[in-house]
């Protein structure tokens, strides 16, 4: 039987004795919920910050006001700072961050509904991914959660 991505991630984190934190905007805690659905996840998951507003991104995750002003909340630069902020705030080895427009409203011509940025960080390395395409709010969130965990696995391998 194939392991689910959250189980595989748990095995890798446990084997490497690493800890994980999350900084979620558009996914609203869905990544943390999936990670903690795995029995024994308390060994490696320290916690998450749902930073739905820019105020929380700035105050809790230390995303700079300049970054938010220049690039917007839904940007590569913002999710990179969110991931670093989560690792620092929660003192973890790695982190995953998401920010996007889940829909159905909120899109712009530059950033249509379904635009999501994901960042995963480990030590000084951060990799990002831009997700596009609107599949409806629930599916946009589900795809983001899946892609975020797969991206983190890729970084840790």
Q: Looking at residue 118, which CATH number applies to its domain?
A: 3.90.950.20
pLDDT of residue 59: 97
Mean of pLDDT values over 21-33? 98
Which token pair is 66? Answer: 């300049």
pLDDT of residue 128: 98
pLDDT(152) > 90 = yes
Confidence band of 111 (pLDDT split at 50, 70, 90): very high
Per-residue pLDDT reduced to its tens digit, 35-77: 999 999 999 999 999 999 999 999 999 999 999 999 999 999 9
Confidence band of 89 (pLDDT split at 50, 70, 90): very high
- Strands 20-24 and 94-100 come out as parallel
Domain that holds residue 34: 5-156
With contact defined as beta carbons under 8 Å apart, do 113 and 105 qualify? yes
The count of domains in the chain is 1
Q: Is the peptide bond before 78 cis (omega within 30 degrees of 0)?
A: no
């Amino acid at each position: 039987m194939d392991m689910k991505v959250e189980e595989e991630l748990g095995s890798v984190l446990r084997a490497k004795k690493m800890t994980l934190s999350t900084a979620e905007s558009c996914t609203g805690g869905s990544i943390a919920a999936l990670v903690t659905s795995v029995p024994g996840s308390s060994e490696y998951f320290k916690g998450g910050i749902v930073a739905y507003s820019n105020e929380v991104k700035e105050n809790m995750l230390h995303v700079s006001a300049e970054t938010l002003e220049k690039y917007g909340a839904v940007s590569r630069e913002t999710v990179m700072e969110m991931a670093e902020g989560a690792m620092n705030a929660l003192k973890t080895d790695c982190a995953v961050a998401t920010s996007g427009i889940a829909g159905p409203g909120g899109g712009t011509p530059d950033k249509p509904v379904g635009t999501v940025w994901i960042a995963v960080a480990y030590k000084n390395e951060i990799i990002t991914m831009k997700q596009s395409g609107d599949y409806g709010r629930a599916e946009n969130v589900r795809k983001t959660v899946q892609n975020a965990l797969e991206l983190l696995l890729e970084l840790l391998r």
